[in-house]
Amino acid sequence: MEKIFNTLIDSYIADKIGIANDFLSLSLATHLKENLQNLHANHQLQNAGTGSQATIDPKKLLRSDIIHWLDRKHDNIYEHEFLNLIDLFVAHLNATCYTSIKSYEFHYTLYEKGSFYKKHIDQFRDNDSRQFSLIVYLNEAWQEADGGALCLHHHFPDSLQTIAPTNRKGVFFKSNELEHEVQLTNQPRMSITGWLKL
């Protein structure tokens, strides 16, 4: 895993956006996707909120994804495996980059057909504990026509970077630096999204 972690970190240092195409094993990605699909089938996903108080926008003008938080209390073998992987990544990040990350939070994310998330940053105005954002995608055979690209707005220089949400890919960036958005998706788009925190 150290090689994959270094790929994510080195590409972040070079471009302010880290990408590792094989952050998850195929087996773990498959099981996490199944978890998400089962949660959805059992009506356990909920509308995502915005801001530190997680205010729900009933008109879904800013975002229209639905989520479910991962928690070791669920005692799900695959959530444990994922969170164990994050523990290893945080330990490696702290040891190599002196980041002092102490905690994290992650949720399953589903963008149903026609969903989106308009331009935003991941750090709250009144709480700067979120230091890094990490997204891991669970979408097999994703095509450009499926939409749902992650768009990152770089300011120095001014440019737009789009990333396809392809299966097993990990994307890593500073939570307070990059404005980003999720384009309208034409197919169900699945991921695990989270933040590494002080």
Largest CA distance in the chain: 45
Would residue 10 count as lying in a domain?
A: yes
Would residue 95 count as lying in a domain?
A: yes
What does the pLDDT read at residue 52? 44
- By three-state DSSP, how is residue 72 classified? helix
Its domain, for residue 91, covers 2-48+60-197
The dihedral built from the CA positions of residue 137, 104, 74 and 82, taken in this order, carries a sign that is positive
Would residue 40 count as lying in a domain?
A: yes
Mean pLDDT by 10 residues, the chain (198 residues): 96 95 98 98 88 56 92 97 98 97 98 94 80 97 96 85 97 92 97 97
Per residue in 103-117, pLDDT tens?
999 999 999 999 999
Residues contacting residue 180 through CB under 8 Å, at least 6 positions apart: 119, 120, 121, 150, 151, 152, 153, 173
- CATH code at position 20: 2.60.120.620
- Other Cβ atoms within 10 Å of 65 Cβ, number: 22
**How many domains are contained in the chain?**
1
Q: Give the alpha-carbon dihedral of 87, 91, 96, 102, to 10 degrees.
A: 100
What does the pLDDT read at residue 82? 98
What does the pLDDT read at residue 85? 98
Cis preceding linkage at 165, omega within 30: no
How far is 61 from 193, CA to CA, in rounded Å?
A: 20
